[in-house]
Amino acid sequence: MQEKMPFSYESPQQVRDLLESMAEPKYRDFAASLLPGEPHVLGVRLPKLRALAKTLARSGGEEWLHHEEDFSFEETMLRGMVIGCLREEPETVLALCQEFLPRIHNWSVCDSFCASLKLITKHPQMGWEFLLPLAHSHKEFEARVAAVLLLDYYLVPEWIDDALKLLSQIRQPGYYAKMAVAWAFSKAWILFPEKTRPYFAPDVLEEETRKMAFQKVRDSRKPKMPLPNE
């Protein structure tokens, strides 16, 4: 689907038919290999999903969000993207975000959803109030949402101290939550090494998360100073 194609929302089935028309069987096999346990992957590439989300958000997107059941991974992914593309008041969008959280069951939906929430760049305080309770959630992907939002929007001079402190408090034991925290700390190390250094000291982060962060820094090949002793 081209982003500028004329489009008038009619029904959830219309959107499902569009998704199926965009699916690529060979890409489906690749995408499914990255999402173990996800049973309904169609194989729609991210740029096409983003284009559809922008179009749908301008033509019936909020109405479409009221349908209850998603029949594919891509439909859930699209739902999160549409929320981020809506041109509504931030309070309305963040309320929809809260409703969307129980649908997040994998890292891909989580990270694409977070990346779509550009309103946080204009309303960082409201975004902070949204993510703060998620950072302390016992649910793996709620904690990952908090970590990825911190990574995407709060590793900036105005927020870096609060962001690092909150990241260090995310102690959800699931792999995907820990990896997001490690990813955020590795980016913080590259951007703000002096502020991040104290958090890399032994016994500040969980040791597994600390080791993951070190590995992420090494993989980036962009350390601005030697890492602390591991």
pLDDT on residue 1: 45
pLDDT on residue 203: 87
CA distance 182 to 178: 6
Instruction: Compute and round to an integer the Cα radius of gyration of the chain.
Output: 19
Average pLDDT, the chain: 92
Q: What residues contact residue 66 under an 8 Å CB cut-off, 6+ apart?
A: none
Q: What is the pLDDT of residues 142-199, one digit of tens each?
A: 999 999 999 999 999 999 999 999 999 999 999 999 999 999 999 999 999 999 999 9
Residue 224 has pLDDT above 70, yes or no: no
pLDDT on residue 3: 44
CA distance 91 to 68: 22
